[in-house]
Amino acid sequence: MQNSRRHFIKTAGVGLAGLGFALSPVSQLLAAAPGGFFPHASPESQGVSSKGILAFVEAANASGISWHSFMLLRHGKVVAEGWWNPFAQEFVHSLYSLSKSFTSTAIGFLVKEGKLDINTPVISFFPKEVPANPSENLQAMTVKNLLTMNTGHETDTMPVMGSSTKPWTQAFLEHPVVFKPGTHFLYNTGATYMLGAILHTITGQTLEQYLAPRLFQPLEITGYDWETSPQGLNTAGYGLRVKTEDIAKLGQLYLQQGQWMGKELLPASWVKDATSHQTDSQVNNGDWSQGYGYQFWRCTHNAFRGDGAFGQYCIVMPDKDAVLAVTSQTPDMQKSLNIIWEHLLPALQDGSLPEDARAASTLKKTLSSLSLPVVKGSTTSSLFQHIHMRQWLADKNDLHAYSLQFAFSRSGCTLTTKTDTDTVTLNFGWEKWELNKARQLYAFPEGNLNKAPTRVAGTATWINDSTLQLNLRFVETFHGDRMQCVFNGDQLSVSFMSSVAENSKEKMDSRKPLRAVLQG
């Protein structure tokens, strides 16, 4: 993707042209399957080829992309869903910029309630934070410019806002507006934050508070959380965590033109505007060059989507009466979409199809056994007795760890780390994922990754007799980490490689190796 999008992915975490189709009858949403909101149906009964879904899964597994989950809805019913172990149906997942589409939805509610005209100048909401001599371009910037990423900025405002000691809104307003608003598209996460700040100015509520009775409760979205700025406002452009099914719910709401359970939540006019081509977007950049709406991207194939860094998708295909929710980690988001368009799109056909018992059985088995790859070496080492339950005292380090302890059993390895502020224990299965019971903060975070408490899954293996490799997945964010623990007599060296760094061209992790000596 082009520079503005790449820049956001690098710094993230500081993150319809006519609806000519028949609506899915709301009555189809009443008989929910166990453990989920939407009813389930066989793919063929909804005109979807089981072989086509299998082809998608096989391509996904062969792609080198770390897929975490997907849910495919057709005519309001789940025809296929899967989670790659250790990710699971009940876990929330970090959305990064897919959060923007939820923020846009909140603005839609404000407009519906007559509380906001999107043509209102932005500075009118923040009279105390406007620069003393605001430029003509800043004065001309409207709420619609925020929605369409046409604020006139030359660079994304979010890095400046995130590093400022001033309120984020003030830092945004002080950032130079180089172009006339409405004439220059720039993917600008700070603009989305301003939408949440405007909502707070109007209502006195955060996005999370405002959306609770209007969106989250009607759609039965529970267990979510949303990061906040130093001023206590939701970060808006990133930071929301919801379950895969909740992503699909948002897509289904937009597919149904704002209708939900026989009630209008959003006006159809807002849905149309929000998901239409409001502005040109990134030139010659595949699915990112199809135009931009109100915090939604247009796609090829007359589809639209909300998306987030590293591969979080809410894809709506009106021509097919279908919704696809995806969570993943990939350095190449277009590659993910290409796999979807190549395999899933042709699987969606008109009318019903003859049942294909053999393909359906294979699909069911495949979906139930999805798993991320596990590194394998050996589950034993001659060093067990020398290391087991001994304390390793760490040299001074940037991670603020001062001791480590390894314990071994037939089922796996346990690492206990003491830091300046906490004691953290993590369990790892021998060459299989073991899920730790409680949410916790990671003891060895890189940069701005993994700052939120999350469930952690881990595997362990000896890649040689003196090197223990611990692999982690933070199943409520999407990142992973790799720790290589090299034992040399009474010396220990621990090196790190985050999944983000591992998937980058540079393959550089910012953390220095941790060194420790055996106590006693």
The predicted model gives 404-411 an average pLDDT of 96
CB 477 within 8 A of CB 94: yes
pLDDT confidence band for 30 (50 / 70 / 90): very low
* Higher-pLDDT residue of 371, 444: 371
Q: Write down the pLDDT at residue 250.
A: 98
Tokens 């707070």 found at: 200
Q: Write down the pLDDT at residue 450.
A: 67
Give one word for 214, left, alpha or beta, with left for phi > 0 and alpha for psi -120 to 50: alpha
CATH 2.40.128.20 fits 384-518, yes or no: yes
Residues in the chain: 520
CB 497 within 8 A of CB 473: no
CB 295 within 8 A of CB 103: yes
Q: Determine the Cα–Cα distance for residues 487 and 257; give it in Å rounded to an integer.
A: 60
Q: Determine the Cα–Cα distance for residues 265 and 149; give it in Å rounded to an integer.
A: 25
Is 116 strand, coil or helix? coil
**Residue 53: CB atoms within 10 Å:** 25
Task: Say whether 384-518 and 3-368 share the same fold.
Answer: no
Give the DSSP H or E segment for 502.
Answer: helix 499-502
CATH T-level topology, domain 3-368: Beta-lactamase (3.40.710)
Q: What is the sign of the dihedral through the CA atoms of 22, 25, 29 and 33?
A: negative
Give the pLDDT confidence of 132-172 residue by residue, as tens digits: 999 999 999 999 999 999 999 999 999 999 999 999 999 99
- Residue 514 burial (CB < 10 Å; 0-12/13-18/19+)? buried
Q: Write down the pLDDT at residue 12.
A: 45
Give the pLDDT confidence of 326-349 residue by residue, as tens digits: 999 999 999 999 999 999 999 999
Q: Write down the pLDDT at residue 35.
A: 57
Both tokens assigned to 433: 């994922």
Q: Determine the Cα–Cα distance for residues 458 and 453; give it in Å rounded to an integer.
A: 16
Give the pLDDT confidence of 464-491 residue by residue, as tens digits: 999 999 999 999 998 999 999 999 999 9
pLDDT confidence band for 445 (50 / 70 / 90): confident
pLDDT above 70 for 7 = no
* Higher-pLDDT residue of 28, 415: 415
Extents of the domains making up the chain? 3-368, 384-518
